Amino acid sequence: MNNNCIWCNITESEKKYLLVNSRYWNVFLADKQDYIGRCILVLKRHCESLAQLNGEEWAELKSLVEKLEVVITKSLGANMFNWSCLMNDFYKSETPNPHLHIHVRPRYNSPITINGKTYNDEEYAHHYDNHKQNKLTESEKETIYNLIKEVLDV
Amino acid sequence: MNNNCIWCNITESEKKYLLVNSRYWNVFLADKQDYIGRCILVLKRHCESLAQLNGEEWAELKSLVEKLEVVITKSLGANMFNWSCLMNDFYKSETPNPHLHIHVRPRYNSPITINGKTYNDEEYAHHYDNHKQNKLTESEKETIYNLIKEVLDV
């Protein structure tokens, strides 16, 4: 627990889109749904880098990678995934205080329809567009959350 | 071994920039040195995704993440790292045949000097620029390779 870290001080009300609460990790549906079903895996412990994960945290990460790929494929129809651990934003500070998190962007070779609206992965088979805006309304985000959660909880 | 896969059929002459040859992984200094010291970790076995790594491959990946972060920090002065597992290019094909590989881009908050020439990480603390061109001549790339290799082999 680090007093100056946003992830160490996340409040219950900010956990609305928590998908998985495992021993060492929280998985949230990301605020920015530029790629439908995008999630963020946040280590519960304050830790600076991938290299500093301990053996148990690393092992649990693997089981989460497997679970998320299966569940998002089943629930949303993603057919491949972009994983990244970047941490750049923390280094904008003069005294960086990084907290390990990992992004996963599901990618789609076919359109996906949510609440009657159809979305395409325009950059499919290319690098994700880092400047892409959020595509979903709040209620569509809730739908996506419920679709993933439903398969997760089976 | 997959007959139609470039990584399964890599030739000895293409291994000039091989840095680490471990039990399950090869680590190469990347052809494109857009970020100085950029490496690519290639699984020796043909495997489609991060989720499909087995336990031993996953454990060895962790030890390589640790080793590369320490060695590239010592040899080149990187102060943080961007890790990614994307695999997009394979999906341009109508019959994708992905072979698991992971990118690591070292990032620098200070200039780095190679053979008397100075390089800056212009996007430091921001997302890497995916359209950035290779910055190094062949001889500078050899210098970088030797600097990393020297620390690796200690």
In this prediction, residue A154 has a pLDDT band, given cuts at 50, 70 and 90, of confident
Whether the CB of B21 is below 8 Å from some CB of chain A: the reply is no
Instruction: State mean pLDDT over A125-147.
Output: 95
Residue A116 Rama label (left phi>0; alpha psi -120 to 50; beta): left
φ and ψ at residue A5, rounded to 5 degrees = -110, 130
Measured between beta carbons, the chain B residues lying within 8 angstroms of A50 are: 65, 69, 81, 83
- How far, in Å, CA of B76 to CA of A23, rounded? 36
Give per-residue pLDDT as tens, B129-154: 999 999 999 999 999 999 999 999 88
* Nearest chain B alpha carbon to A63: B51
At B101, phi and psi to the nearest 5? -150, 155
Query: What per-residue confidence (pLDDT) applies to B2?
Result: 81
In this structure, what are the phi and psi dihedrals at residue B114, rounded to the nearest 5 degrees? -125, 125
Smallest Cα distance from B17 to chain A, Å: 23
Of A59, A91, A127, the CB nearest to B124: A91
**Of B66, B125, B130, which is closest to A127 when you measure between CB atoms?**
B130
Residue A114 clears pLDDT 90, i.e. is over it:
no
Question: Which is more confident, A11 or A2?
Answer: A11
- Report the number of secondary-structure helices (H) and strands (E) in chain B: 2, 7
Residue A57 pLDDT: 98
What number of other Cβ atoms are within 10 A of residue A120's Cβ? 13
- % of chain B beyond a pLDDT of 90: 89
The model's pLDDT over A68-111, given as tens digits with 9 standing for 90+, comes to 999 999 999 999 999 999 999 999 999 999 999 999 999 999 99
pLDDT, tens digit, 9 for 90 and up, residues B82-106: 999 999 999 999 999 999 999 999 9
What is the reported pLDDT for B13?
A: 86
Question: How far B78 CA sits from the closest chain A CA (Å)?
Answer: 13
Which residue is listed with tokens 């830790």? A47
Q: What is the pLDDT of residue A46?
A: 97
- Interface membership of B95 toward A (CB under 8 Å): no
Query: In terms of CA atoms, which chain A residue is nearest residue B53?
Result: A62
- The model's confidence at residue B4, banded by pLDDT at 50, 70 and 90, is confident
How distant is the Cα of A85 from the closest Cα of chain B, in angstroms?
Answer: 5
Q: What is the DSSP letter of B13?
A: G
Q: Do A84 and B82 touch (CB under 8 A)?
A: yes
Q: Which of B109 and A115 is assigned the larger pLDDT? A: B109
Mean predicted confidence (pLDDT) in A106-129: 95
From residue A150, alpha-carbon distances to A118, A139, A142 in Å are: 21, 16, 12
pLDDT value for A119: 93
Q: Which amino acid is at A38?
A: R
A110 interface with B at CB cutoff 8 Å: no
For residue A97, the model assigns a pLDDT of 93
Measured on CA atoms in the order B127, B131, B137, B139, is the torsion positive or negative? positive
State yes or no: pLDDT of B1 exceeds 80.
Answer: no
What pLDDT score was predicted for residue A4?
Answer: 84
How far are the Cα atoms of A87, A88, B128, B136, B148 from residue B145, in angstroms, in the given order? Answer: 25, 25, 21, 12, 5
- Tell me if chain A has a CB within 8 Å of the CB of B89: yes
Q: Measured between CB atoms, which of B53, B83, B96 is closest to A85?
A: B83
The answer to whether A92 faces chain B, any CB pair under 8 Å, is: yes
> What is the residue whose two structure tokens read 């605020």?
A31
Q: Tell me whether B6 touches chain A (CB under 8 Å).
A: no
How do beta strands A80-85 and B80-85 pair? antiparallel
| CB < 8 Å from B in window 43-62 of A | 49-51, 53, 55, 58-59, 62
pLDDT in tens, A28-80: 999 999 999 999 999 999 999 999 999 999 999 999 999 999 999 999 999 99
Mean pLDDT score, B22-47: 97
Determine the Cα–Cα distance for residues A7 and A11; give it in Å rounded to an integer. Answer: 9
pLDDT at position B31 over 80: yes
Closest residue by Cα to residue A145 from A67, A65, A28: A28
CA closest to A58 among chain B residues:
B62
Q: Is residue A79 packed enough to be buried (19+ CB in 10 Å), middle (13-18) or exposed (0-12)?
A: middle
> Which of A58, A86, A128 lies nearest to residue B82, judging by beta carbons?
A86
Q: Is the pTM here over 0.90, yes or no?
A: yes
Q: What is the mean pLDDT of residues B46-60?
A: 97
The answer to whether A42 and A51 have CB atoms below 8 angstroms apart is no
